[in-house]
Structure 1
């Protein structure tokens, strides 16, 4: 056994796989621990032997970028080792993801909570973009939540660097509901603006508690976007009709965001609108977003430790809190909560000085709230 094999063997013995927690086409994820300390971890076993036509580049990219990106809002890569034909990535263990939190109808969101999740997302993304890395698959279930409430960007399998602006890239990236229109029209030259569009979709989903732009095919995705935001003109988005896969989709009028996001603050709507600009060069950047008035206006972002989180204990459905049934809470993919139990979190904003006076005995869905002062 040579030195490389010995080192790999030592790395492999350092970690213990315990329980399988997820599986995809090319990877299996286990909950594990460090043998010596008992520290929890996640072990992502990538089936290298099953990759064809260079698809193993996703595994290589994930290792490459996670080794380079060290930030509190980016998942940490603890170790890497090989086993037979598999590559194993040892990652910090995180309890849940933002998609689980959005779908859990027993949880109450305050505007300050949404602001906190958005701030952490933008901080992690700004660090990626500052280091010339595009994520290219931002969505709620790739935003993981640690036990202390910190949000961390994960799954860099589609990431790539963009230091050379003239380099041709694939448009077959980003999960459809979070994919910007330039990629749907086949653009092979793009920038960090593609990630910003995805973050805008996530922002809207946090406010609505349901995906904002959910198309069933690429063509339907474009129609869904245009129905929501209006069909772009050449003035709105110069040159888009010359993109490789451009096809006319239909004429739809622009609907003010306020019509759907009725309770969002003016600053929230402004930030959302600047993320969902058709012209990629006019989209807000991650650093500009962090300096947007939205994040400094009241209410201030909730401290991560006080954010809503998935509880192992049963809690009351929101419709029992206010006495009104909510048909959305029993929709597809939403688990009905047990009828008994306690709502763990006080229905007040932790940042309001008059929080006692503002205790709320009604459903605190963001879409139904009055604007915060």
Structure 2
């Protein structure tokens, strides 16, 4: 089996090196017995839907590994493949790291492009929102360490992520955090290269971007990581602006209005507007539970001047990660509870023999029998001997009575004549048209 896999890999590498088309590669793969493309994966349920396509769960039939497939909708023939998808593929092929999502395969199918990623169970946003999870300082330190490790690798390879936010930080079954969604990522480093400033979700956007800067570097990713750091500590988004102007107001209201001394080039930014002076708030008052080392790192990451802002690599070397408590091992980090799938309504038979749909909240009822409060299931079993000869209804299909308050007057039980009348009325109600009702 190992020899076969090595042979297949060598054949593929030769074919790809000679720039042969995917049809030739697929033909060779089928000849040696390995399915490729859409035939290789068995689709499952949808995991989500984004701007460019749908993500669904699948199983790789060759490796029996669970994967996540991102189906990207292609434009018309003249438009070709989505440029965002091509950039994401190119960059992820170059970024191989334990803290960056792995792109395993790419294949076209039915005019759509499919990107196959390793399957991740959850994301950091679910952890922050789950109030059943207590995030200790060691847990926050572990998450920030993994985020910064992934960022440091990106910046070392001259890649800006430009879309850091908690739901783009995915968590595996072993608790490992990985950077994902590189659709807005770009190569940086050219001194005169200009980028769009409309990147990042607004709450994680650096102030130089909000002022319209088109020449920026890795500091924008570090600012977004600082916002996520604060969100981990506070368990809520830190700076929640409703517009770019409001976002700047939120930033200046917390860190103070910057001047030339703090940020020498601020007035030369394209969309610079002067704000009324606001004094900075104390970091200790903003994060009362944080340690001194944690506050010092936050201050360095939230530095206004991007040239003076700490880098991801230097942040990893900060004393915050060397002091106690040590970062929690990733396999010990608590993961959010998966949302429960609500059961379908219970199907019951009415005394008339018709199917009745009852919501799950009505599966346990209270009824008084002989002065004792019993559940509906117990009451049904106690009265089954009396009801069975008259109704001919199976024991598992006894109607669940409505909830009642034991303190109020009880509804009288039905005698034989009343039950016969109710049965006839139910039959009439079932077959009457809505107009006649």
Same fold (TM over 0.5): yes
CA contact (8 A) 1:223 1:250 kept: no
Whole-angstrom CA distance in 2 between matches of 1:211 and 1:172: 20
Give the aligned partner of residue 4 of structure 1: 22
CA distance, structure 1, for counterparts of residue 122 and residue 76 of structure 2: 28
- CA distance in 2 between partners of 1:54 and 1:238 (Å): 44
Give the secondary-structure state (helix, strand or coil) at the position aligned to 1:282: coil
Residue from 73, 91, 104 that aligns with 2:117:
91
1:30 matches 2:48: no
Contact map agreement 1:8 1:82 (CA 8 A) in 2: no
Segments of 4+ moved more than 4 angstroms? 50-55
Q: Tell me the SS of whatever aligns to 2:163.
A: coil
Q: Hey, what's the Cα distance between the residues in 2 that align with 1:104 and 1:249?
A: 37
Matches within 5 A, 1:165-180: 165-180=191-206
Counterpart of 2:254 in structure 1 is 228
Shift of 1:88: 0.7
Give the Cα separation in 2 of the matches to 1:312 and 1:159. 30
Are 1:247 and 2:273 counterparts?
Answer: yes
Query: Contact conserved, 2:122 with 2:170, CA < 8 A, in 1?
Result: yes
Gaps of 5+ in 2: 1-19, 28-35, 341-437
Q: Is the 8 A contact 2:74 2:81 kept in 1?
A: no
State the distance in 1 between where 2:81 and 2:126 align.
28
Question: Secondary structure at 1:258's aligned position in 2?
Answer: helix
2: distance between equivalents of 1:266 and 1:195? 23
Cα shift readout 1:263-309 (whole Å, capped 9, x = no counterpart):
10000000011011000000000110010000000000000001121
Q: Which residue of 2 aligns with 1:48?
A: 74
For residues 6 and 188 of structure 1, the distance between their equivalents in structure 2, rounded to whole angstroms, comes to: 44
Aligned Cα root-mean-square deviation (Å): 1.9
Tell me the alpha carbon deviations over residues 79-100 of structure 1, each in whole angstroms, 9 at most, x when there is no partner: 0011132111000000000001
Equivalent runs, 1:121-136 vs 2, <5 Å? 121-136=147-162
Higher relative contact order (CA 8 A, sep 6+): 1
Aligned partners of 1:7 and 1:182: how far apart in 2?
47
Aligned to 2:167: 141
CA distance in 1, matches of 2:236, 2:78: 35
Cα distance, 1:250 vs structure 2: 2.5
Q: What residue in structure 2 maps to residue 270 of structure 1?
A: 296
Q: 1:51 to 1:290 in 2, by over 3 A?
A: farther
Q: Residue by residue, what CA displacement relative to the aligned partner does 1:321-354 show, whole Å, maximum 9, x if unpaired?
A: xxxxxxxxxxxxxxxxxxxxxxxxxxxxxxxxxx
- TM-score, with normalisation over the residues of structure 2? 0.69
Of residues 197, 218, 226, the one that matches 2:244 is 218
Say whether residues 1:258 and 2:295 are aligned partners.
no
Counterpart in the other structure of 1:369: none
Q: Aligned-pair distance for 1:74?
A: 0.2
CA contact (8 A) 1:222 1:249 kept: no
Cα gap change, 1:36/1:43 in structure 2, threshold over 3 Å: closer, same or farther?
Answer: same
Separation in 1 of the partners of 2:329 and 2:319? Answer: 18
TM-score (norm 1): 0.81
Contact 2:165 2:201 in 1 (8 A): yes
Q: Distance in 1 between matches of 2:332 and 2:78?
A: 45
Taking structure 1 as reference, are residues 277 and 50 closer, same or farther at Cα in structure 2, changes over 3 Å only? farther
Deviation at residue 51 of structure 1 after TM alignment:
11
Of 18-27 and 177-186, the range deviating more from structure 2: 18-27
Conservation of the 8 A alpha-carbon contact between 1:81 and 1:87 = yes
Ranges in structure 1 where 5+ consecutive residues have no aligned partner: 315-373
Alignment-derived partner of residue 202 in structure 1: 228
- The residue that corresponds to 2:5 in the other structure is none
SS in 1 for 2:42: strand
Aligned: 1:78 with 2:104: yes
Number of residues paired by the alignment? 313
Q: 1:147 to 1:265 in 2, by over 3 A?
A: same
